[in-house]
Structure 1
Amino acid sequence: MNLAEAIITKNVEKQATKSAIGFKKKESWKELSWKKFSEIVFKTANALKNAGIQENDKVAIYSDNSAEWMIFDLASMAVGAITVPIYSTNNAEQAEYIINDSQAKIILVGDQAQYDASLDTLKKENSLQSIIVSKKAVWIKKEFNSYYLEDFIAKSSSELEICKKDEKDVATLIYTSGTTGTPKGVMLTHGNFLKAFDAHFEFFKFKNFEEELSLAFLPLSHVFERSWSLLCLYGGARVYFLEDPKNIAKALEEIKPTMMCAVPRFFQKVYAGVLEKAQEGSSLKTKIFNWATEIGRQTAELRRNEHPVPFGLKLKEFFANTLVFSKIKEKMGGRLWFLPCGGASLSTEVTQFFESVGIHITVGYGLTETTATLTLFPLTHFEHGTSGKPLPGVEVRIGENDEIQARGNGIMKGYYNRPDETKAVFTEDGWFKTGDAGKFDEKGNLIITDRIKDLMKTSNGKYIAPQQIENLLTNNNLIQQIMLIAEGRQFVSALIVPNFEFLRDYLKKNNIPFTNWEEIVNKDQIINFYKEKIKELQEHLSDYEKVKKFTLMPAEFEINTGEITPTLKVKRNVVLTKYADIIEKMY
């Protein structure tokens, strides 16, 4: 079945007048009912057909999150075309590469920079024929086949016969951002998505899912947010789209979502912020906080194992919630209870903390090539510090060099126009090789040890798994980003991006005048402060794992400079090359 049909038809029949999506217009949030949403999707689909888009043609989307993003995605699939998302943060050269490699014919853009980049590509007379612009604020050149979305769909019909699709037909090409190599177009099929969605519903057995409200703030161009948002719509839940992720704190309080997918850094920042505030308070406040988290931990443990909570403990939990937890939850909108988390590992102390507050983080593991999820935490009987258990219809095994290998529902069809590279990531008996190292615990939970490519061997022959150490050092409010260096070196060093907000407060409290970050991060007082804190944080590590030297960076690693991926993972090769001189000075 066509993925667009599976999402729209059922929901229009069941809940036509109920809200499907939400978006911000000027300063207020608006909603579209399922009926209205389907009409706009069908009008857009017919406009694409009128513009010459046929089955299996490629349609690109190069925009920040928006209602138009999702409308264009479903409209493209409805006519049997293949959607090609491009990260809104990609520069002109990166976008042009994807447009040309996928042979996209039409592109939807969101802002002026994306329009200008697409126009340069269109002028080169490659596959691109038309540019559709979602915002009237963007200045366009109509003589170059450029149209505002509103005008593009104005005269088209809202009646549509959705193109029939087989489960093996390609629905989308998602170009992997990856931390290494040239982006490759991952071919995911209609069946990949639909089977994965059904597996999630079978796994969690959600009750009244259509009453849920999800906030999409991670990039829709990434497989994680796109799959999650489509899953929510498939299940009849509402999805609100946040254009600028920097406004997440305000949006949480305005929308009050019940569900939301996020990356580990989001949880680490919330956790570190809460701990810092608790430690800054009076000794009484700190005592109350510590008491509440201990009560929360005890009740969470009982519920995790489906044991009854005694009345006395329930009473204590009520007071813990009133005095402490309700304030933390209120900052996140007050209604969040289910938060899928992926993209990197998340430490036990963070997941336990959220669980004690009454917010369930569903840690999962997967790749673009596996339609996001391979394994994840169930609602109960999960094990902290693992990546959970395989979804129904998914098999996972540990192959050579401890490599995690998988087969089943979500595994991609292959890399677009790259038969050799497709062949290289599959074993002879058809298992997909993830490139990650892992193992199973005695209960069948998957534990990720690290990316095989990221494992580092020091000149003394010791292996370092950087992710675990980096996680340990970023679970606080001092460090925003970190990258370990150890490969072929005699000891571990690191490039550290401080949390500049925290550092600014530290300067005020210690009467250190602010000049510029370049000067501040090179001050002996600041370096010594970080030395002491890092020494404390890595006390229990083996000596060979400890960061012996570090450099404080004066600015964050950025997506648009290619130093980090859109899910905030550091691109090691890029950073190693760019800051080679700084790294050499540490040795």
Structure 2
Amino acid sequence: MNVAEFLNINTAKFPMKPAIGFKKKEKWTEITWSDFRRLVFKTANALCEAGISEHDKVAIYSDNSAEWIVTDLAILSLGAVTVPIYSTNNEEQAEYILNESECKIILVGNQEQYDAAFNILNRNHILKQVLVAKKAIWIKKENSQYFEDFIKKAEETFDIVPKEDEDLATIIYTSGTTGVPKGVMLTHGNFHKSVEAHFEFFKFKNFENETSLAFLPLTHIFERSWTLLALYGGAKVYFLENTKLIASALVEIKPTIMCAVPRFYQKIYAGVNEMANNSSESKKKIFNWAIATGTEVAELRRLNKEIPFSLNIKNKIAGIMVFNKVKKKMGGKLWFMPCGGASVSSEVTRFFEALGIHITVGYGLTETTATLTCFPFHNFEHGSAGIPFGDTQIKIGENDEILAKGSGIMKGYYKKPTETAEVFTEDGWFKTGDAGKFDAAGNLIITDRIKDLMKTSNGKYIAPQPLENLLSDNNYINQAMIVAEGKPYVTALIIPNFEALQEVIAKMNIPFTNWADIVNLESIREFYREKMDDIQKGLSGFEKVKKFTLMPAEFEIGSGEITPTLKVKRNVVLQKYAALVDKMYNS
């Protein structure tokens, strides 16, 4: 079945129910399933008229928007192949993808993307046309057209092209923390079976009444597959174009479900705890009592046990006094939030469970159509990656590598047979590149990326992710990158939480000049030394960060220091800041 077939199914079920929402002239607007399908079908017909046929490639190079999802579903509907490009990719990176995938048309979202695409079009003999999502963008008319004009005269009816499970739906180029991007080939069957497996696993009730907010990049498999799942189930999905406006969007939209990466949860966890620590003794006591009460309720809920009447009453009071105030900042209605992209500490997941928000931690890759394992609603284990779902099979191979089989596994890497062969065993198991183990109850525990595992010159092995999570769970640390490979001791590059640090320098009566000066002040370095000592109390001596460097700015996506899902590209950062790293070992 073509994965876009849900357009017909849901339009028949809820023709006048809102399907998607987006901001238009600073106001959130919704369109019904009937209008949503009409837009998708008009776009599919317009693409056909522009020369796109089954199996052709069409690129989307844009931030999240209604036009993004409409174009994606139109491409899938006509049996063509969607090639998403991260909105943060530069011209050179976009050109590599367009050249290899041989895209004929590209949709762009902003001026910078348009300029890059137009330049590429003049050098590329296959790319024929640039579509522009917004009329606010200035375009050269040659081989360029506004999306609105492109679909204006197209027919509104369209027959979705039937597809088999093995037919290609999309090529997603992994941002990767190392090496050249590889195009992951995912099929209609990969998406369709993954979605069906989620609904079978969670057994959602009245899912069509849910509201999701898409704020992670749709280019990434996590948000793409989650958004397709939400729409497939009839939920309403809002698309946030500017991720910096996430705080206000949560309050305005009041989503009930949405996916996010660990950094989202860590920032809320750290911020709330810091606020509580700086409160009066009476407020601190109330906060601690509320969290203890919520944790007790969450633990009974986790074990699927009945909650005593008196405890329920206490939890409702805790909600009124503490939890509702925190949840209100996230819109007040969130109850289910998948978390993926990197590991997250059990302290963070326990905190959200205490609030009454179920964080479903999952594990997967682009190559596995996202989810391989995840938390069920009950009997999950904090600190684990959950249990296999659907028809997923997992086993632990050599060097503790996690191996997987199942209907979510990719078809292969586009035009890269050698690289494809390298990630599969002779008997067809996909090699994830992650190390892990199963606990006694069958929960998967991720120990680290095999490539990331570090060995000090003293022969001690360091797993960087748990250490980096421990540090970044603190409100004053936005991100941390551990350095240890071949070194006598562990060091770290620390990105401060500049918002929180601004308050610290104000209290210290330090006049602000610039962050480069501030992070080198001895008083600030001493402030962070105390924080580091406190954070690392429970660690073994060889694991502790002995020296650190405070960075004056965040790692940037555009310069290739981090991926669009905020994973640090260690090789890039080590090379760029080699002098700072050397100084920590030679001074």
TM-score, with normalisation over the residues of structure 1? Answer: 0.99
Contact preservation (8 Å) 1:131, 1:147? yes
Residue by residue over 1:195-247, the C-alpha shift from the partner in whole angstroms, topping out at 9 and shown as x without a partner, is 00000000000000000000000000000000000000011111000001110
Q: 2:154 aligns to what?
A: 156
Q: 2:525 aligns to what?
A: 527
Equivalent of 1:517, from 515, 518, 522?
515
Contact preservation (8 Å) 2:396, 2:437? yes
Residue by residue over 1:308-362, the C-alpha shift from the partner in whole angstroms, topping out at 9 and shown as x without a partner, is 1111111111110110001011110000000000011110110000000100000
Equivalent of 2:447, from 439, 446, 449?
449
Residue by residue over 1:414-472, the C-alpha shift from the partner in whole angstroms, topping out at 9 and shown as x without a partner, is 00000110000000010000000000000000000000000000001110000000000
5+ unaligned residues in a row in structure 1: which ranges? Answer: none
Contact preservation (8 Å) 1:39, 1:159? yes
- Other structure's SS at 1:386 match: coil
Give, in whole Å, the separation in 2 of the partners of 1:419 and 1:8: 35
Q: 2:296 aligns to what?
A: 298
Q: 1:503 aligns to what?
A: 501
Letter aligned with residue 299 of structure 1: V
Give, in whole Å, the separation in 2 of the partners of 1:249 and 1:442: 40
User: Which aligned pairs between 1:51-70 and structure 2 lie closer than 5 A?
Assistant: 51-70=50-69
Give, in whole Å, the separation in 1 of the partners of 2:245 and 2:377: 29
Q: 2:4 aligns to what?
A: 4
Give, in whole Å, the separation in 1 of the partners of 2:269 and 2:160: 46
Q: 2:377 aligns to what?
A: 379
Give, in whole Å, the separation in 1 of the partners of 2:530 and 2:276: 21
Give, in whole Å, the separation in 1 of the partners of 2:124 and 2:390: 46
User: Which aligned pairs between 1:91-106 and structure 2 lie closer than 5 A?
Assistant: 91-106=90-105
- Other structure's SS at 1:104 match: coil
Letter aligned with residue 21 of structure 1: I
Give, in whole Å, the separation in 2 of the partners of 1:553 and 1:326: 35
Give, in whole Å, the separation in 2 of the partners of 1:204 and 1:219: 24
Give, in whole Å, the separation in 1 of the partners of 2:60 and 2:124: 19
Contact preservation (8 Å) 2:302, 2:380? yes
Give, in whole Å, the separation in 2 of the partners of 1:324 and 1:443: 34
Q: 1:172 aligns to what?
A: 170
Letter aligned with residue 13 of structure 1: A
Give, in whole Å, the separation in 2 of the partners of 1:125 and 1:502: 47
Give, in whole Å, the separation in 1 of the partners of 2:491 and 2:300: 41
User: Which aligned pairs between 1:287-436 and structure 2 lie closer than 5 A?
Assistant: 287-436=285-434
Q: 1:250 aligns to what?
A: 248
Q: Does residue 82 of structure 1 match 2:84?
A: no
Letter aligned with residue 86 of structure 1: I
Contact preservation (8 Å) 1:225, 1:261? yes
Equivalent of 2:258, from 237, 253, 260?
260
Deviation for aligned residue 1:173: 0.2
Contact preservation (8 Å) 2:131, 2:147? yes
Deviation for aligned residue 1:279: 1.1
Letter aligned with residue 492 of structure 1: V
Residue by residue over 1:161-195, the C-alpha shift from the partner in whole angstroms, topping out at 9 and shown as x without a partner, is 11111110000000000111110000000000000
Give, in whole Å, the separation in 1 of the partners of 2:415 and 2:362: 30
Give, in whole Å, the separation in 2 of the partners of 1:137 and 1:67: 15
Residue by residue over 1:243-286, the C-alpha shift from the partner in whole angstroms, topping out at 9 and shown as x without a partner, is 01110010000000000100000000000110011111111000
Q: 1:575 aligns to what?
A: 573
- Other structure's SS at 2:186 match: strand
Give, in whole Å, the separation in 2 of the partners of 1:476 and 1:482: 11
Letter aligned with residue 150 of structure 2: F
5+ unaligned residues in a row in structure 2: which ranges? Answer: none
Contact preservation (8 Å) 2:99, 2:124? no
Letter aligned with residue 352 of structure 1: R
User: Which aligned pairs between 1:468-487 and structure 2 lie closer than 5 A?
Assistant: 468-487=466-485
Letter aligned with residue 357 of structure 1: L
Give, in whole Å, the separation in 2 of the partners of 1:392 and 1:84: 26
- Other structure's SS at 1:433 match: strand
Letter aligned with residue 401 of structure 1: N
- Other structure's SS at 2:136 match: coil
Deviation for aligned residue 1:532: 1.2
Runs of 4+ in 1 over 4 A off after TM superposition: none
Give, in whole Å, the separation in 1 of the partners of 2:462 and 2:274: 29
Q: Does residue 459 of structure 1 match 2:457?
A: yes
Deviation for aligned residue 1:125: 3.2
Deviation for aligned residue 1:512: 1.1
Q: 1:206 aligns to what?
A: 204
- Other structure's SS at 2:104 match: strand
Q: 2:72 aligns to what?
A: 73
- Other structure's SS at 2:533 match: helix
Q: 1:125 aligns to what?
A: 124
Give, in whole Å, the separation in 2 of the partners of 1:463 and 1:281: 40
Q: 2:39 aligns to what?
A: 40
Contact preservation (8 Å) 1:209, 1:236? yes
Letter aligned with residue 54 of structure 1: S
Q: How many residues align?
A: 585
Give, in whole Å, the separation in 2 of the partners of 1:368 and 1:318: 40
User: Which aligned pairs between 1:219-298 and structure 2 lie closer than 5 A?
Assistant: 219-298=217-296
Give, in whole Å, the separation in 1 of the partners of 2:126 and 2:335: 45
Give, in whole Å, the separation in 1 of the partners of 2:160 and 2:309: 55
Contact preservation (8 Å) 2:54, 2:80? yes
Give, in whole Å, the separation in 2 of the partners of 1:288 and 1:490: 45
Letter aligned with residue 354 of structure 2: S
Letter aligned with residue 321 of structure 1: G
Deviation for aligned residue 1:126: 2.7
Letter aligned with residue 57 of structure 1: D
- Cα RMSD for the two superposed structures: 0.6
Contact preservation (8 Å) 1:100, 1:126? no
- Other structure's SS at 1:373 match: strand
